[in-house]
Structure 1
């Protein structure tokens, strides 16, 4: 089986009915369909790389290629984990966790998206909590960081609810306009002090830990 050679395919994170897992080909097709239908309301902005503004088919292909690229370019020193998010088996979005020189820096970054019909129900918080449990409790991270546009309040609320602290701003250009992002950072100590749900993890073998540079 392919998982014998790429053990990350067996990784599972579960919080109640919500499961996060590296997508199989069938999963990836379902996630691409969610992206095809859309994940942001007209006039809003989600990512500095504006793939969510693309036509539906291009959005779907971006999701597929992102997963393929993450696997193909993975090294223990520089990795990008794409996790499909499923509720009672139904694809709803994705949660990403990235590490650069993780074995030395012990820092992760996160991103996520949800299909429009699945927003506003608390799933963004649950997804992030599962990813943070993986990072801190299983991989031994020292801190986690993220960033959101200052005019996109939903992910900022999630971050602050989970204990993140403001970590300055960045100014960039998007479609020829200046956009401002709020950086946020969560220390291991603040994560440990926050109330959080039980996260069940399976498939995190020694071979997986080696791929994360976490040994």
Structure 2
């Protein structure tokens, strides 16, 4: 079985409404279709890398290529774990957890997107809560970091709800213009104090060496 060689395919996170899992090829096909249908208002670009600028076919293909690239580049010292988010049997978006030198730094980052049809329903909070539980409970993280552009109130609101505090700014060039990003940081105590979403982790034990644990 594929999980004998790549146990991440057996990793599942369960919240009251969602399942997060590492996608197989059929899941990736659905994810690409969600991306192609639209992730954000075309008039705004919420990502540092403007991967959603393009035709529907180009966005779908780049979604697949990015996921495959993350699989191929994985090492215990530098990994990026991308789940698909599933609600009522349908894939609605993706949630990532990544780290560099995790065994030493004990710090993770997060990133996510949802199809536009699924915005405004609290899914963003629930799916990030799931990977934070994986990080702090499952992997023994000490810190989690995130960043959102200054005008991305939805992402910033999720971070504040989950206990993050401000951690400075970063400046980027997006579509040829300077954009300010707000950095945020969450420590273990802040996560525990703000924790309200129940999360069940399945299939983690055989994956731990891949995370450097």
Calculate the TM-score normalised by the size of structure 2.
Answer: 0.98
For residue 51 of structure 1, give the secondary structure of its aligned residue in structure 2.
coil
Residues 161 and 194, structure 2, Cα contact 8 Å, conserved in 1? no
2:23 maps to what in 1? Answer: 23
Residues 97 and 111, structure 1, Cα contact 8 Å, conserved in 2? yes
State the alpha-carbon separation in 1 of the partners of residues 36 and 50 from structure 2. 15
Residues 142 and 187, structure 2, Cα contact 8 Å, conserved in 1? yes
Asked whether 1:85 is paired with 2:85, we answer yes
When the two chains are superposed, the root-mean-square deviation of aligned CA atoms in Å is 0.9
Residues 94 and 113, structure 1, Cα contact 8 Å, conserved in 2? yes
Runs of 4+ in 1 over 2 A off after TM superposition: none
1:120 maps to what in 2? Answer: 120
Asked whether 1:14 is paired with 2:17, we answer no
Unaligned runs of 5+ in 1: none
Residues 136 and 188, structure 1, Cα contact 8 Å, conserved in 2? yes
Deviation string, structure 1 residues 25-74 (Cα, Å, up to 9, x no partner): 11111111100101001211211000022221111112211211111110
Asked whether 1:209 is paired with 2:208, we answer yes
Aligned ranges for residues 35-54 of structure 1 at < 5 Å?
A: 35-54=35-54
State the alpha-carbon separation in 2 of the partners of residues 71 and 42 from structure 1. 29
Residues 107 and 144, structure 1, Cα contact 8 Å, conserved in 2? yes
Calculate the TM-score normalised by the size of structure 1.
Answer: 0.97
How far did residue 192 of structure 1 move? 0.9
Asked whether 1:108 is paired with 2:108, we answer yes
Unaligned runs of 5+ in 2: none
State the alpha-carbon separation in 2 of the partners of residues 211 and 118 from structure 1. 32
State the alpha-carbon separation in 2 of the partners of residues 42 and 202 from structure 1. 37
Asked whether 1:153 is paired with 2:153, we answer yes
1:169 maps to what in 2? Answer: 169
State the alpha-carbon separation in 1 of the partners of residues 208 and 29 from structure 2. 27
Asked whether 1:132 is paired with 2:163, we answer no
Residues 45 and 152, structure 1, Cα contact 8 Å, conserved in 2? no
Aligned ranges for residues 177-188 of structure 1 at < 5 Å?
A: 177-188=177-188
For residue 96 of structure 1, give the secondary structure of its aligned residue in structure 2.
strand
Residues 96 and 112, structure 2, Cα contact 8 Å, conserved in 1? yes
